[in-house]
Structure 1
Amino acid sequence: MWQLCEEPKPGDLIEIFCKDYTHWAIYERNSYVICVTPPGDNQGRFNFPFWSSKEVVKRELLKTVAAGCLYRVNNFLDHMCSPLPVDRILSHAKEKIGADMKYRGGGWQFVSHLRYGVAFTKQVRPPLGRPLAS
């Protein structure tokens, strides 16, 4: 099971528990992460409305991005999808630094695309129709 503040490895997904939402980053090395943030010099402070129309990919220290919030390694789709090789995850992430992105919602789609090659959504849709009788 995942533990809060577990030591991350390169390519891991980092889930950061902010006050009103969850932010996501991909762990690089040496305490650095790559994530999407609103434009400007926010220095890891995400206590503002996060649903901007444009976000920028940045490389920052994990402790700066977490800004005192709890975080954990959460590669929870590994049981469904094989992660890409770590060198590929990190090279794609580094290529995106400074780029304007249209990902929204705390960066989940961005980091899942880097780790698995597919931009998953975390939205859960209710099933269509009624359940089948057993």
Structure 2
Amino acid sequence: MPLVSGPDPKPGDLIEFFRGVYQHWGIYVGNGYVVHLTDQDGWSSLSSAFGGTAVVRKDRLEDVAQGWYYKVNNKYDQKRRPYPPNKVVREALAKVGEKMSYSVTSANCEHFVTDLRYGDSFSDQVDNGKTVVAVGGGIFFAVAAVAAFSSMRNRRQNQ
């Protein structure tokens, strides 16, 4: 049984599935179903990263959750105006069965659902990951620079 928190989903809602180190996203289309960009088996779009393509599927919400925590997360509604729910659902259902290009950084499952709900493809998950990599790289560079400077200073003192 999946772990769910918050309100029951309504058609057109973004559903965020927590999968440990990443999140998977779908659009709730009603009657217990979500439409999502995923691999052929319907579990994860992340595995599509290796093949460069993914498929749009309509699956039962509980099947997609597979015991993981999920919630309605329309977090972008404060910044962007969503399309009417009937348009979101209609567009999502029209894409079922379609094969699409997949890229972790520019065409992932979150990009897919934000495009359907807001008409613009974006992903906080990717943006946050880029920030972590940039900050981590900056920290690594700073530590390496300090270590190199210390090493040079120690060499000069020993000469």
User: TM above 0.5, one fold?
Assistant: yes
Are 1:102 and 2:131 an aligned pair? no
Q: Which residue of 1 aligns with 2:44?
A: 46
* 8 A contact 1:56–1:100 mirrored in 2: yes
Instruction: Count residues in correspondence.
Output: 122
Q: Deviations over 1:95-129 (max 9, x none)?
A: 10000112434500000000001111323365xxx
Are 1:74 and 2:73 an aligned pair? yes
If asked which structure has higher relative contact order (CA below 8 Å, sep 6+), I would say: 1
1:92 positional shift = 0.7
Highest Rg: 1 or 2? 2
* 8 A contact 1:103–1:110 mirrored in 2: no
1:27 positional shift = 0.2
More helix by share: 2
Are 1:29 and 2:27 an aligned pair? no
Cα 1:68–1:21 change in 2 (3 A) is same
Q: Which runs of 5+ in 2 are unaligned?
A: 132-159
Task: Measure, in 2, the Cα distance between the counterparts of 1:15 and 1:107.
Answer: 10
Cα 1:112–1:103 change in 2 (3 A) is farther
Q: Which runs of 5+ in 1 are unaligned?
A: 127-134
Q: Deviations over 1:44-80 (max 9, x none)?
A: 4339735230000000000000100000110000001
Cα 1:22–1:50 change in 2 (3 A) is farther
Q: Which residue of 2 aligns with 1:131?
A: none
Deviates more, 1:95-104 or 1:62-71: 95-104
TM-score with structure 1 length normalisation?
0.81
**Counterpart residue identity of residue 121, structure 1:** S
**Which 4+ runs in 1 deviate beyond 3 A?**
44-50, 103-106
Task: Measure, in 2, the Cα distance between the counterparts of 1:11 and 1:77.
Answer: 13
TM-score with structure 2 length normalisation?
0.69
Q: Which residue of 1 aligns with 2:113?
A: 111
Task: Measure, in 1, the Cα distance between the counterparts of 2:84 and 2:46.
Answer: 34
**Coordinate RMSD, CA, aligned:** 2.3
Cα 1:35–1:86 change in 2 (3 A) is same
Residue identity over aligned pairs, in percent, reads 36
Q: Which residue of 2 aligns with 1:132?
A: none
